[in-house]
Amino acid sequence: MAALDRAAPGPVAEGSVGGGTGMVCYQFKCGIGTSSRVTDVNGDSYTVGVLVQANFGHWQLLRVAGVPVGHYLKPDDESSPVFDASLSSIIIVVATDAPLLPHQLDRLAKRAALGLARNGSIATNGSGDIFIAFSTANAEAGRGAADANISMLPNDSINPLFQATVEATEEAIINALVAGRDMQGDNGSLVRGIDLERLADVLRRHNRLVEPSDTP
């Protein structure tokens, strides 16, 4: 109820907020993350937004921009009692204003798994992954009118939305990770956020980091 009451335009709070407070991914402090893409479909512009609540992964699997950064950023305490990498989970919500029917939204939700895999997830045996997708288009369709008219994009035109979903999911997870901060938990347990300076250094050494001076 608090989340609904505080809903407003503007930046979305990330990291240790709401349900993300207790989340850990790749054995670093994690939480809520979000990202979006604007894409063109047949001359019309549509937005795909993704929100994740991330709680999964072993540090050795972590990849950022294709770089296996986990090999360079081993957590200080690999055997931390606050996390069991075999019992991982993530919730991914995909939202779009593109006019898609339920079966098309089901296909969009499945593409979120590809964005998850880009960051190194293998969806372990104990994973409790939940992916959902919805569209804000066709608002009148659910009002019960017998003659409700709806619009939809043809299947052959929705590849750009698939791409946007994969990319936004990948970035939302990274945003959740870099927003994480050291947290002291119950009974003295401690989980640390990822070292952002070390992460940037690894990406820089692999030519994956865009410096401010490099942008137009």
Per-residue pLDDT of 153-184, as tens digits, reads 999 999 999 999 999 999 999 999 999 999 98
Domains belonging to the chain, first-starting first, are 13-137+152-209 (3.60.70.12)
Render pLDDT for 76-89 as a digit per residue (tens, 0 to 9): 665 455 566 667 89
Residues 48-84 pLDDT 10s = 999 999 999 989 999 999 999 999 998 766 545 556 6
* pTM for the whole structure: 0.91
Tell me which residues are annotated as active site. Answer: 89, 127, 129
**CB-count exposure of residue 185 (10 Å: 0-12, 13-18, 19+):** middle
Residue in 94, 170, 158, 162 with CA at minimum distance from that of residue 130: 94
